């Protein structure tokens, strides 16, 4: 078809479609424009309104008569007015061009609506001679867009401000988000990973724990949490990955410091355990040695004592006073040595006896000890107060020995000025019983509170206060063997209180 034929065909086709006269067509199109659901406004070259269809009135609420009084830009929201003016100026200058824009316009009721407009400059077309503006109200769509944009911005603000590193991937592993912290801890700027495939960038991690966990999370639609060491960076991460509609959101933090101290702590714990084991072995060997030595030393010592006694008895006529004195010292030394050996033996025996648990009435124990020391108590005018002490399920013999040691010390380390006042009390605590033995004796200076529980540690001279320095060491060993603690509180010159705890096995 030639160009001429084409044009003739088009004129004929139009005549067939619009088989009315020219005036009929004008009326027809005017009606179509008038009733179009789109707002249509015509502006002259000075941007003055020369026509508005009824939809334009309906959409904006302004009647044409009202709006004609205004400059069109005055109903544009002040935030949009600047660029809107520029669009109109450009448009006015270039006949034949169209410009699309979306702006907020003030309705007659004062509310703003979003208008999507197409301005076309037909000023040079003599049939139209106007700038035509087609527009519609897109407020609903625009508000929804803005709401989702704000939500997105808000989400981004949150994701940038959290302390966790974060990234998101879609179902095909394309990275869609990479926050600041992720940049920092993975030492990778977002421009190098955004919109790229995660496993292409981290190809070395394919098959790793994170690879398998993320894949499992996506496939099972269940969140996963794990810790992983990432060798290329020498870092430990604590990772939480949550599958979603769009893909996977991964929150992670660098826990290298914590992990290293955990590892160190574990190593330390292991080496301590090893050390404790070694110490336990050494201790057991020492105890064994002390037991054998003290046991075996008794026999030769008995010989020394008995021969010295024989010497004293049979040769008293030939030995002068000095010699007798020497023999006395030697016998006394041997006696003390015997006591030391006996105490040492006792010390090394602590914990060896398989004494059964039994119901022990502490009142009865104290009463028996009272009877044992009756003579001394009478002489010293000592008062031992107790009573209302509880029953406890424990090992009787060792407990009795501890209480006896403490009471005998209270009598021994009495004040020279006062008659001894000794109180025995027991306080029931959560899972144990706390027993105390207090006196008004010579007291102990604080710097010795620990020392006195070590074997052979004595604060006083043997002349005034005889002893081997083993009583408290034995007591400590007994109490610790029973799972308790022993300690002292004291004021020099005023008196001391010894405390020890006993597990109540019934609880
Ligand atoms: P020993 O009485 O044979 O010396 P202990 O082990 O029983 O041995 O006591 C160690 C030291 O603790 C004593 O030498 C004494 O100095 C001090 N001590 C113990 N009990 C008391 C007490 N009730 N008051 C003052 N000092 C005490």
Residue 146 lies in a domain: no
Tokens of 7: 């044009």
Check if 495 has its Cβ closer than 6 Å to any atom of ligand 1.
no
Please name which of 357, 351, 359, 505 lies closest in space to residue 433, comparing C-alpha atoms.
505
Tell me which of 339, 412, 413, 451 to substitute to probe ligand 1's pocket, judged by most ligand atoms within 8 Å of the beta carbon. 413
Q: Is the CB of 114 under 6 A from ligand 1?
A: no
Which residue has the least CA distance to atom 13 on ligand 1? Answer: 458
- Name residue 52's beta-bridge partners: 41
pLDDT at residue 16 in the model: 53
Same domain, residue pair 232 and 271: no
Instruction: Quote the ligand 1 centre to 452 CA distance (angstroms).
Output: 7
Distance, first Cα to last Cα, the chain: 111
- Distance CA(137)–CA(369), nearest Å, equals 104
Query: For position 245, which CATH number holds?
Result: 3.30.450.20
Q: Which residues contact 131 (CB under 8 A, 6 or more apart)?
A: 42, 43, 44, 45, 47, 91, 92, 119, 120, 121, 122, 123
Pocket lining: 458 vs ligand 1, CB cutoff 6 Å: yes
Q: Which of 234, 254, 274 is the last residue of a domain?
A: 254
Q: Answer yes or no: do 269 and 240 share one domain.
A: no
pLDDT at site 282: 80
pLDDT at position 336 is 84
User: Which residues span the domain enclosing 184?
Assistant: 162-254
pLDDT for residue 21: 58
Q: How far is the CA of 502 from the centre of ligand 1 (A)?
A: 21
Whether 341 is covered by a domain: the verdict is yes
Burial of 21 (0-12, 13-18, 19+ CB in 10 A): exposed
* Ligand 1 site, residue 484, Cβ cutoff 6 A: no
Which residues of the chain fall below pLDDT 70? 1-23, 352-354, 462-463, 506-507
Is 175 within 8 Å of 168 (Cβ atoms)?
Answer: yes
The pLDDT assigned to 449 comes to 95
Q: Are residues 482 and 367 in the same domain?
A: yes
User: Which long-range contacts does 296-305 make (Cβ < 8 Å, 24+ apart)?
Assistant: 297/341, 298/338, 298/341, 298/345, 301/334, 301/337, 301/338, 301/341, 302/338, 304/330, 304/334, 305/331, 305/334, 305/335, 305/338
- What 8-state DSSP symbol labels residue 507? -
Smallest CA-to-CA distance from 119 within 130, 104, 108 is with: 130
3-state secondary structure string across 355-417: CCCEEEEHHHHHHHHHHHCHHHHHHHCCEEECCCCCEEEECHHHHHHHHHHHHHHHHHCCCCC
pLDDT at residue number 285:
79
Q: How many domains does the chain have?
A: 4
Please work out whether the CB of residue 496 comes within 6 Å of at least one atom of ligand 1: yes
What is the position in ligand 1's atom list of the atom closest to the CA of 439? Answer: 23
CA 376 to centroid of ligand 1, rounded, Å: 18
Residue 247 C-alpha from the chain's centroid: 29
Query: What is the structure's pLDDT at 299?
Result: 85
Residues 364 and 483 in one domain: yes
Write the CB contacts of 465 (distance below 8 Å, at least 6 apart in sequence). 412, 413, 458
**Looking at the structure, do residues 225 and 322 belong to the same domain, yes or no?**
no
Nearest-5° angle of CA 290, CA 291, CA 292?
A: 95
Asked, for residue 147, whether it belongs to a domain, the answer is no
Atom of ligand 1 nearest to the CA of 473: 6
Please identify, among 226, 254, 282, the residue that sits at the C-terminal boundary of a domain: 254
């Amino acid at each position: 078809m030639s160009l001429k034929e084409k044009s003739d065909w088009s004129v004929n086709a139009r005549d067939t479609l619009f088989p009315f006269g020219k005036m009929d067509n004008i009326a027809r199109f005017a009606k179509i424009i008038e009733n179009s659901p789109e707002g249509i406004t015509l502006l002259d070259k000075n941007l003055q309104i020369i026509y508005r269809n009824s939809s334009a009135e309906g959409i904006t609420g302004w009647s044409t008569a009202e709006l004609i009084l205004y400059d069109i830009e005055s109903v544009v929201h002040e935030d949009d007015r600047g660029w809107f003016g520029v669009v109109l100026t450009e448009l006015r200058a270039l006949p034949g061009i169209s410009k699309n824009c979306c702006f907020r316009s003030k309705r007659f009721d004062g509310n703003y609506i979003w208008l999507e407009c197409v301005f076309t400059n037909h000023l040079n077309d003599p049939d139209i001679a106007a700038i035509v503006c087609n527009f519609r109200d897109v407020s609903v769509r625009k508000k929804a867009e803005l709401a989702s944009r704000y939500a997105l911005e808000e989400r981004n603000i949150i994701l940038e401000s959290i302390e966790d590193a974060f990234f998101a991937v879609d179902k095909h592993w394309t990275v869609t988000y990479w926050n600041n912290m992720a940049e920092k801890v993975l030492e990778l700027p977002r421009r190098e990973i955004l919109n790229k495939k995660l496993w292409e960038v981290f190809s070395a991690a394919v098959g790793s724990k994170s690879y398998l966990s993320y894949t499992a999370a996506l496939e099972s639609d269940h969140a996963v949490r794990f810790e992983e060491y990432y060798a290329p960076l020498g870092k430990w991460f604590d990772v939480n990955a949550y599958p979603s509609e769009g893909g996977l959101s991964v929150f992670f933090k660098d826990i290298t410091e914590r992990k290293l101290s955990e590892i160190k702590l574990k190593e330390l714990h292991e080496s301590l355990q090893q050390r404790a084991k070694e110490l336990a072995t050494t201790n057991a060997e020492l105890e064994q040695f002390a037991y054998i030595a003290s046991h075996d030393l008794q026999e030769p010592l008995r010989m020394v004592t008995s021969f010295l006694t024989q010497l004293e008895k049979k040769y008293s006529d030939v030995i002068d006073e000095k010699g007798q004195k020497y023999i006395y010292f030697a016998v006394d030394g041997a006696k003390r040595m015997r006591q030391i050996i006996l105490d040492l033996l006792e010390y090394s025996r602590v914990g060896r006896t398989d004494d059964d648990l039994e119901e022990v009435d502490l009142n009865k124990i104290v009463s028996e000890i009272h009877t044992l020391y009756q003579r001394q108590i009478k002489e010293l005018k000592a008062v031992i107060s107790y009573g209302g002490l509880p029953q406890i399920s424990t090992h009787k013999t060792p407990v009795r020995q501890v209480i006896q040691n403490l009471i005998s010390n209270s009598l021994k380390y009495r004040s020279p000025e006062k008659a001894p006042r000794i109180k025995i009390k027991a306080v029931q605590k959560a899972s144990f019983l706390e027993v105390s033995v207090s006196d008004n004796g010579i007291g102990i200076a604080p710097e010795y509170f620990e020392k006195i529980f070590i074997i052979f540690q004595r604060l006083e001279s043997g002349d005034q206060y005889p002893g081997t320095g083993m009583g408290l060491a034995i007591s400590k060993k007994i109490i610790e063997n029973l799972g308790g603690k022993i300690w002292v509180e004291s004021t020099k010159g005023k008196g001391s209180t010894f405390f020890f705890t006993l597990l109540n096995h019934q609880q």
